[in-house]
């Protein structure tokens, strides 16, 4: 079975497991885990922020950002298909109790669209308190948010007293594909999250990075949400290993995604534009069949992918998928 449902499916390599086994650990709730501290310092530096906090998931990182930036009833501006809106079980409504307003179409948006979406500052309207972007944008097919626009959005938002949060679950992919450092990508943001459990191949773990005072608040909320972990250096060692060994190779995943898209474009039942593929995610459409029907047929043929709407399907390349697997997947899909 060739599994293209997500890059979260990667399993830790033998070398990563060895690094985990060797990790120097302590009780992180006492602030005594040296490996967690090492990772947090390195992540802050890599993301161009003062401080960082290790959290179990990207979802918790996003939720901590909402809790720290906002108050109940606030308005948060997000691109279409934003992860907090679609995939976090309604957590934004349950914990931070904010409303999410969609800006622009397709996931990416401009500073002008963001400015136009800020609610009027009178008491009928919710107070717009945060702007959040995803880089890369998952449902937009792994698209990289153009850096010049991120900078314009950040400075226009700042002028209005609105912080910018970047969900950088796949910021490593954005960096490798754009040639910009993660530091360059992260610096315009007030806060940024990043995941080690997607293309980087760690079994779990994300970070939230931002100003020291913000991270101190996030630390308290992490405890409230039950995210204080003990000998968590075992997971942080996997993340450190991934930073050392699995970042540059993301270029292979991007090449494989492009190759997959080129093959899918030739399939008579599918609509796929390879020029839209910038990183490791391929989103394509079915012409006549329901996406669920097509993905069921694909699974039966030996290729797993996720339907993401009645007509759209997502395929994600990753560490456990080789170029030969992509060629085999295309051969198998040709029969669907």
Residues that bind ligand TLP (CB under 6 A): 6, 8, 57-59, 62, 83, 87, 134, 138, 167, 169, 195, 197, 206
275 DSSP assignment: G
Please, which residue, 115 or 235, has the CB nearer to ligand TLP? 235
Q: In which element (H, E) is residue 286 found?
A: strand 281-286
Cβ atoms of 274 and 266 closer than 8 Å? no
Q: Which of 2, 3, 5 is nearest to 313 (CA)?
A: 5
Q: How far apart are CA 284 and CA 314, in angstroms?
A: 7
Q: Which run of H or of E encompasses 77?
A: strand 75-79
Q: Which is nearer to ligand TLP, 118 or 232 (CB)?
A: 232
The CA R_g of the chain, rounded to the nearest whole Å, is 20
Helix, strand, or coil (residue 309): coil
From the CB of 144, what's the least distance to ligand TLP, in Å? Answer: 13
| Cβ nearer to ligand TLP, comparing 87 with 93 | 87
Measured between alpha carbons, how far is 118 from 161 in angstroms, rounded to an integer?
A: 11
Backbone angles phi, psi at 76, to 5 degrees: -120, 125
Minimum Å gap between C-beta 208 and ligand TLP is: 11
The distance of closest approach from Cβ of residue 91 to ligand TLP in the complex, given in angstroms and rounded to an integer, is: 10
How far apart, in whole angstroms, are the C-alpha atoms of residue 197 and residue 204?
A: 5
Residue 9 C-alpha from the chain's centroid: 14
Report the residue number, 118 or 166, with the smaller CB distance to ligand TLP. 166
Tell me 250's DSSP state.
H
**Shortest CB 262 distance to ligand TLP, Å:** 22
Nearest approach, Cβ of residue 57 and ligand TLP (Å) = 3
Helices 212-224 and 58-69: crossing angle in degrees, nearest 10, is: 120
> Minimum distance from CB of 79 to ligand TLP (Å)?
11
| Shortest spacing between CB 138 and ligand TLP, in angstroms | 4
**Comparison of 115 and 132: residue with beta carbon closer to ligand TLP:** 132
Write down the least CB distance from residue 156 to ligand TLP, Å. 23
Closer by beta carbon to ligand TLP, 40 or else 118: 40
Structure tokens at 17: 């497991």
Cα→Cα distances 108→80, 104, 105, 147, 226, Å: 7, 7, 7, 11, 33
Question: Which residues, listed in sequence order, are joined to residue 166 by a DSSP beta bridge?
Answer: 133, 192
Residue 280 and residue 259: Cα distance in Å, rounded? 11
Closer CB to ligand TLP, 10 or 59, in the complex:
59
Which residue lies nearer to ligand TLP by CB, 6 or 35?
6
Q: Which residue is nearest to ligand TLP (CB)?
A: 58
């Amino acid at each position: 079975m060739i599994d293209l449902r997500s890059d979260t499916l990667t399993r830790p390599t033998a070398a990563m497991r060895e690094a985990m086994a060797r990790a120097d650990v302590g009780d992180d709730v006492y602030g005594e885990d040296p490996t967690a501290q090492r990772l947090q310092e390195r992540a802050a530096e890599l993301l161009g922020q003062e401080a960082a906090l290790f959290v179990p998931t990207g979802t918790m990182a996003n939720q901590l950002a909402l809790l720290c930036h906002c108050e109940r009833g606030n308005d948060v501006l997000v691109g279409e298909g934003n992860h907090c809106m679609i995939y976090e079980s309604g957590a934004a409504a349950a914990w931070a109790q904010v409303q999410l307003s969609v800006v622009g179409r397709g996931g990416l948006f401009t500073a002008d669209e963001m400015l136009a979406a800020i609610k009027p500052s009178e008491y009928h309207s919710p107070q717009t308190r945060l702007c959040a972007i995803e880089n890369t944008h998952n449902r937009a097919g792994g698209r990289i948010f153009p850096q010049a626009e991120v900078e314009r959005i950040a400075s226009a938002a700042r002028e209005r007293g609105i912080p910018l949060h970047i969900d950088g679950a796949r910021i490593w992919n954005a960096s490798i594909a754009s040639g910009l450092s993660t530091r360059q990508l992260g610096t315009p943001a007030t806060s940024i999250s990043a995941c080690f459990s997607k293309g980087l191949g760690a079994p779990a773990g994300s970070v939230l990075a931002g100003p020291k005072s913000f991270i101190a608040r996030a630390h308290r909320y992490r405890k409230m949400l039950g995210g204080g972990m003990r000998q968590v250096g075992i997971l942080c060692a996997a993340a450190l290993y991934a930073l050392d060994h699995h970042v540059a190779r993301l270029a292979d995943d991007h090449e494989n995604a492009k190759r997959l898209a080129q093959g899918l474009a030739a399939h008579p039942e599918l609509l796929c534009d390879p020029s839209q593929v910038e990183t490791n995610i391929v989103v394509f459409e079915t012409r006549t069949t329901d996406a669920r029907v097509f993905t069921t047929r694909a699974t039966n043929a030996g290729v797993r992918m996720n339907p993401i709407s009645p007509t759209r399907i997502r395929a994600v390349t990753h560490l456990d998928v080789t170029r030969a697997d992509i060629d085999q997947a295309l051969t198998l899909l040709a029969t669907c």
